[in-house]
Amino acid sequence: MGNDVVIGVDPREPSVPALDWAADEALRRDTSLRMVTAVPPVHDRLSFDALAHRSGLRMRAASVLANAEDLVRETHGGPRTVTELVDGAPATVLYERAVDAAVVVLGSRRLGRTAEVLSEGSVVVPLTARSPCPVAVIRAPAPEPVHPPLIVVGVDGSRDCRAAIAFAVAEAGLREARLQAVWVWPRPPLSRDDVAEGLAERRRLLAEAVAGWAERRPDVGIEQEVVRGHPVEELARAAGSAVAVVVGRRGRGGYSGMRLGSTVHGLLRHAACPVITVPLPETAETDGTPVGAAPPRLQRDQGTATG
C-alpha cells in the first residue's frame, strides 16, 4: 500500500469533490487510489435493533463504496483503485491506513469544533491532529480556480513549516501550479516595534525558508509575501482561489483533536479551498530547541502558519 492516495468514503454521504480531488491526485502521482469505508461498531451488541441497524448500514456502505468507485472510473478513466469495507471506528481505520500513505483525503461538512470532534464517526479533526502523513480536507463547493493554478503555503520560520514547504513545492510541480509562500505577522495592536524593520526582517526570514528550492525545482515558480493580520484570515484570503493551502502541524495531537493548532483548525473551518496539513517528520533533527519552536526573536509569531 506504500504511497497510495487514501480517501475516506463516508457511508452516509460521500463527498464527490473529495473523490474528484483524490482521483486527480492519484493520477498525477501515478499511484493507486485506496478507497476506504469504515462501519462503526454498535454500542449494544445484544440489541436486535442495533445489530439490524448495523447490518443495514454495512449493506449501504458497500453500495456507496461501489458507486464511488464507478464514479471515479467514469469521470477520470482511472486511476488504479482498491476498495476496502472495514469494521471499526473511521478515524482509527484511516489512521492505520495513513501510516503507509502518501496523503489521506477527506471530505468535510464544515461542522463546528464540538460537532466535528464529538459526533459519531467524526474523522476530520481527530485524523488531521495525529495522522503520520499529510491530510487533505476537501469541501464543497470548490472555489473558481485561477490560471495558472495557485498553491499557498504558510511559513513562520519553525521546523514545522519546512515539511509543509517541501510538500507544497512537490504538489505545485505535480499540478503545474505557481506557489505562493505567505508569512503572516500577527503584530499586537499596541506594539511599538518598528513596522518597516519588522517587515524587512520577516521578508529576510521568508526568503531563507524557501531558499534552495528555486535551484532544486526550477519548474516551480515561488512567490513570497509578508502580510500583517490574523493568520487564519490572511491565509484564507491569500488562498481564496487556490488549488490548496498547505500548513504544517506541530507534533502528534491528542486523539480528541483538542490539541489541533488554532491556525489549522481555523483554516479547516473558514478556508474556501482544500486545506492540506503536513506533520513534522519524526526523524527531524533537533539542536536543543523544542521541535516546532520558532526562532527566539520571533516567538510572538509562533502559530502563524503551523498548528
Strands, E, within 59-202: which ranges? 81-87, 101-107, 135-138, 150-154, 178-185
Asked if pLDDT for residue 84 goes beyond 90, the answer is yes
Choose the most confident range, by mean pLDDT, from 1-15, 48-62, 141-155, 212-226: 212-226
Q: For the chain, what percent of residues have pLDDT higher than 70? A: 78
Reduced to 3 states (helix: H, G, I; strand: E, B; else coil), residue 79 is coil
Categorize the per-residue pLDDT at 150 as very low, low, confident or very high, splitting at 50, 70 and 90.
very high
Phi and psi torsions of 62, nearest 5°: -65, -40
Q: Is 304 helix (H, G, I), strand (E, B) or coil?
A: coil
pLDDT tens for residues 26-80? 999 999 999 999 998 776 555 556 677 778 888 999 999 999 999 999 999 889 9
Lowest mean pLDDT among 56-65, 116-125, 274-283: 116-125
Triad 108, 143, 119: Cα angle to 5°: 10
**Residue 211 in this model has a pLDDT that exceeds 70:** yes
pLDDT grade for 13, boundaries at 50, 70 and 90: confident
Q: Quick one: average pLDDT of 220-249?
A: 94
pLDDT at 252: 47
- Amino acid (1-letter code) at residue 72: V
Give the pLDDT mean for 217-229.
93
- Cell representation of residue 300: 510572538
| The pLDDT value given to residue 43 | 63
Give the whole-angstrom CA distance, residue 31 versus residue 34.
9
pLDDT the model gives residue 231: 92
Beta carbons within 8 Å of 273's beta carbon, 6+ residues apart: 142, 143, 239, 240, 241, 242, 243, 244, 245
Sorted by where each starts, the structural domains of the chain and their CATH numbers stand as 4-138 (3.40.50.620), 150-301 (3.40.50.620)
